[in-house]
Amino acid sequence: MIASIVGIFIAFKSLNDVSNSVINYSSGTNSSENSQTESKVYDVNLKQTENQIESKITKIKVEKKEIYSTLDGKDLPGSVTVSLEIKNNGEKTITTYPNQGELTTTKETVNGGETLLSTFDDSKIEKGKSISGEIVFPLSKIEKVSDIKWVELSWLSYVGEETTPITFDTGKINLK
């Protein structure tokens, strides 16, 4: 019993350390931060409707700035941030997981967004409602912002109690 309690405290301490590292890197307060930072925001107007679920991507930000990836447990040289809105035009509640999606770029494929830096927290959408936020995908293969010429995002959504997902795939979104 005591060993279990000690284990829980150690796990919380590790989680707190990772959270503090992510906050330090994202705010630029870490002294080892790469001095060459660069970013570009692309305005996007992509709307898709599938099975009465409407998705809209309005902005994509490519950044060459060191970011801590909790999935990789280390610093990565950049990121792509996707601004996304999802609306339920159907009759049943939708469960959707864009933060667990797959982002493909000119250089690499990333499975899952960085949960601590992303602001897309909701997954349930009631009839007639919308949810929105930003999903941050850390990149390991970026030397400069112009390396990323296009992105493609896919994620799963479920309607009602269905167990077969609806896959959203944006196709290539050219960044210019």
The pLDDT assigned to 82 comes to 97
Q: What pLDDT, in 10s, does the model give residues 57-90?
A: 999 999 999 999 988 899 999 999 999 999 999 9
Cβ pair 92, 54 in contact under 8 A: no
Residue-level pLDDT at 72: 86
Residue 37 reports pLDDT greater than 70: yes
- Separation between Cα atoms, residue 74 and residue 91, nearest integer Å: 43
d(CA 55, CA 58): 10
3-state helix, strand, coil in the chain (%, to 5): 20, 45, 35
Q: Is residue 138 classed exposed, middle or buried when 0-12, 13-18 and 19+ CB atoms within 10 A define those classes?
A: buried
Listed in sequence order, the residues at least 6 apart from 35 whose beta carbon sits closer than 8 Å to its beta carbon are: none
Contact assessment for residue 129 and residue 85, using Cβ atoms and an 8 Å cutoff: no
pLDDT higher than threshold 50 for residue 48: yes
pLDDT digits (tens, 9 = 90+) for 110-168: 999 998 899 987 889 999 999 999 999 999 999 999 999 999 999 999 999 999 999 99
Query: What mean pLDDT do residues 37-42 have?
Result: 96
Sign of CA dihedral 132, 97, 72, 169: negative
Rg, Å, the chain Cα set = 18
Given this model, what pLDDT does residue 27 score? 44
Domains in the chain, please, with CATH?
33-174 (2.60.40.4170)
DSSP 99: G
